[in-house]
Amino acid sequence: MTITAAQVDALPDRSVVPAVWSRYTDLVVDRGEGSWLVTVDGDRYLDYSSGIGVTNTGHAHPRVVAAIQGQAAKLLHGQQNIVYHEPGLRLHERLRHVLPGDGWAAFLSNSGAEAVEAAVKLARVATGRPAVVAFRGGFHGRTAQTMALSSSRTSVRGNFEPLPGSIYHAPYPACYRAPDGPHDPDQCTCDWEGQLDGLFAQLVDPARVAAFIVEPVLGEGGYVVPPVSFLPRLREIADRHGILLVADEIQTGFGRTGRLFAVEHSGTRPDIVTVAKGIASGLPLSGIIAREDLLRHFTPGIHGGTYGGNVVSCAAANATLDVIEDEGLVANAAARGTQLIEGLRALKGRHPRLGDVRGLGCMVALEFVRPVPGDGRMPDAKMAQAVLAAALERRLIMLSAGSWGQVVRIIPPLVTTEAEVAQAIGIVEEAMTAAAA
């Protein structure tokens, strides 16, 4: 049922929502349908933000909605410490089989940050070691521990020190921003390994490190796709020192990169994988999928939470996994992602401020630069903002990213069509022209 004009007039002013939610749009939405958001005024917007990489099955997929409605009518909350429930049992079992290989088990929580907290707690309790090494440009959440792990932007962590200690940051191979010049990740010359070695020599003994935590593709840090050799090499280094490898797949998981999980692109087997966002099509659900022998270190009562594995969220997740499988969304993500990246790369010659177009599957970035003397890679947040605004005027929603805010990231739902991608490419081209004028 569409909201009425009288109801729209009676809505409280937007200022009731605190300004801490930095805003991309002032839209008040009524509903979502597949790749589209519809405002209370009936205007339709192509939503290539997917609610920050969440609505992989599109908005309000009928099968997910039916599962939620059916479950909500039966039981809203069946607390994990008190009872078992069918959607939860089924989901725990299913999550044992979503990653390559055997021997996985899942623990469920609510938000991405909570999943990362669980991963760090598990790594520490399983290894008996205190330190964690994260990667520069990474983002892992907004709680104290996850802020300490994050380094995507100063604003994420800068106002909240002191932060939990024993966290160290190693460089991520960001080939476009390499000090010796941008290069193709296939011919990577980034010195991440040498610098990690230096970190072990100068700051923390690797024998004291419980885990590496790494995004297979940097998310908030600017959709940076590392060379395919990065994760396998990190795995080797982890094995050499008895360090666990935690892949933060909160943004990259559930088909987003054209594989069910991004670690599959390099055939790397992590020890713990954090999941959230795309798992339940918009209902709050997250978790870790960990080696079963590791998860046994979570003995009764040492971790938990009131809402973890909520029954309605689990029903939504089971339906989401069905839709991803039955509708071939992983293959569609790969095909639509290639269409989008190729279409946007073709625009590069006509738009000198578009420094880089990159991505993996439906995780696509445009990096804007200012044409200044030197190597021409001065980050241009103003241009990125202008492109976002011009695209919004043309009813395309995208987001920003990158440590300087210089990146426009494009996150289509995995149900998006060839025609919608073509429409989006056309709008981006118009928006870049308008923004540069």
Ligand X SMILES: Cc1ncc(COP(=O)(O)O)c(C=O)c1O
The residues of the shown chain that bind ligand X, judged by CB under 6 A, are 52, 111-113, 116, 139-141, 215, 219-220, 248, 250-251, 276
Residue 108 or 432: the one with the smaller Cβ distance to ligand X is: 108
Phi, psi of 430 (to 5 degrees): -60, -40
Strand order in the sheet with 36-39: 29-33, 36-39, 44-47, 396-397
Residue 80 or 252: the one with the smaller Cβ distance to ligand X is: 252
Task: In whole angstroms, give the CA distance from residue 408 to residue 424.
Answer: 13
Q: How far is the CB of 118 from ligand X (least distance, A)?
A: 12
Q: How far is the CB of 286 from ligand X (least distance, A)?
A: 6
Residue 220 or 367: the one with the smaller Cβ distance to ligand X is: 220
Residue 250 or 391: the one with the smaller Cβ distance to ligand X is: 250
Q: Which residue is nearest to ligand X (CB)?
A: 112
Q: How far is the CB of 276 from ligand X (least distance, A)?
A: 5
Cβ contact 431:347 at 8 Å: no
Q: How far is the CB of 152 from ligand X (least distance, A)?
A: 9
Strands 244-248 and 272-275: parallel
Q: How far is the CB of 181 from ligand X (least distance, A)?
A: 28
CB atoms within 10 A of CB 132: 26
Q: How many helices (H) and strands (E) does the chain have?
A: 14, 16
Q: How far is the CB of 403 from ligand X (least distance, A)?
A: 14
Q: Which amino acid is at 433?
A: T
Residue 58 or 287: the one with the smaller Cβ distance to ligand X is: 287
Residue 117 or 356: the one with the smaller Cβ distance to ligand X is: 117
Q: How far is the CB of 139 from ligand X (least distance, A)?
A: 5
Task: In whole angstroms, give the CA distance from residue 363 to residue 36.
Answer: 18
Phi-psi region of 158 (alpha: psi -120 to 50; beta: other; left: phi over 0): alpha
Residue 116 or 319: the one with the smaller Cβ distance to ligand X is: 116
Phi, psi of 167 (to 5 degrees): -115, 130
Distances (CA, A) of 292 to 101, 214, 250, 295: 12, 20, 20, 5
| Residue 106 CA to its chain's centroid (Å) | 19
Q: How far is the CB of 164 from ligand X (least distance, A)?
A: 16
Residue 59 or 409: the one with the smaller Cβ distance to ligand X is: 409
Strand order in the sheet with 272-275: 104-109, 286-291, 272-275, 244-248, 209-214, 131-135, 167-170
